[in-house]
Amino acid sequence: MMPSNDETERFCNRVAAEFLIPGYKLSQRWDEANATSQPFHTVARWFKVSPVVAARRALDLGLITKPEFFLFYEMDREDWQRRKAEQRKKKGRGDFFATQDVRLGRRFASAVVRAAREGRILYRDAYRLTDLKGETFNRYANRVLKGMKDERQ
């Protein structure tokens, strides 16, 4: 979050900042945002940027001080890390085979599995078409075939 020493980089950063959050617009609406409980989040919603970008722009325009910016930056980073840890705990792992259903499509996957099992294509070709190999392909194929049976009943 510290400015670059390269003049070209600093110029590009100023142009990007002005494009994302025009200085005159933020200056006009700063009092409105600052009156809220989370001014940087308010600005972020208005301009569709992250709260950290909004805070940095407020710093660059002299609307807040460096200590205010770094206090917000640290709090935001800690909050982000806490949310990520909570998501990891809550989420668990995804279902590999369900992902394959979406990636390949059930119709395509079942056609490839049936063709391989009936000997109409080589397993080598089924592996290449599905990007699954060996036991992983077999476990997925069993799941696909079981799903086909369940659908028929």
Q: For 46-89, how does the pLDDT look when each residue is reduced to its tens digit (9 = 90+)?
A: 999 999 999 999 999 999 999 999 999 999 999 888 888 887 77
Do 25 and 39 lie in a common domain?
Answer: yes
Do 63 and 107 lie in a common domain?
Answer: no
Q: Is the pTM of this model over 0.85?
A: no
Give me the helix-helix angle, 7-20 and 51-60, nearest 10°.
110
Please say whether the beta carbons of 121 and 108 come within 8 A.
no
pLDDT score at 149:
58
88-120: pLDDT as tens digits: 777 666 788 888 989 999 899 999 999 999 999
Fill in the DSSP letter of residue 4. Answer: P
Do 43 and 116 lie in a common domain?
Answer: no
1 is a domain residue:
no
Do 76 and 140 lie in a common domain?
Answer: no
Percent of the chain past pLDDT 90, that is, above it, reads: 69
101 is a domain residue:
yes
Q: What's the domain count of the chain?
A: 2
Domain span at 139: 96-152
Do 26 and 11 lie in a common domain?
Answer: yes
* Cβ neighbour number for residue 64 with a 10 Å cutoff: 20
Return the residue matching tokens 């799941």: 143
113 is a domain residue:
yes
Do 54 and 68 lie in a common domain?
Answer: yes
2 is a domain residue:
no
Using only C-alpha atoms, the chain has a radius of gyration, in whole angstroms, of: 27
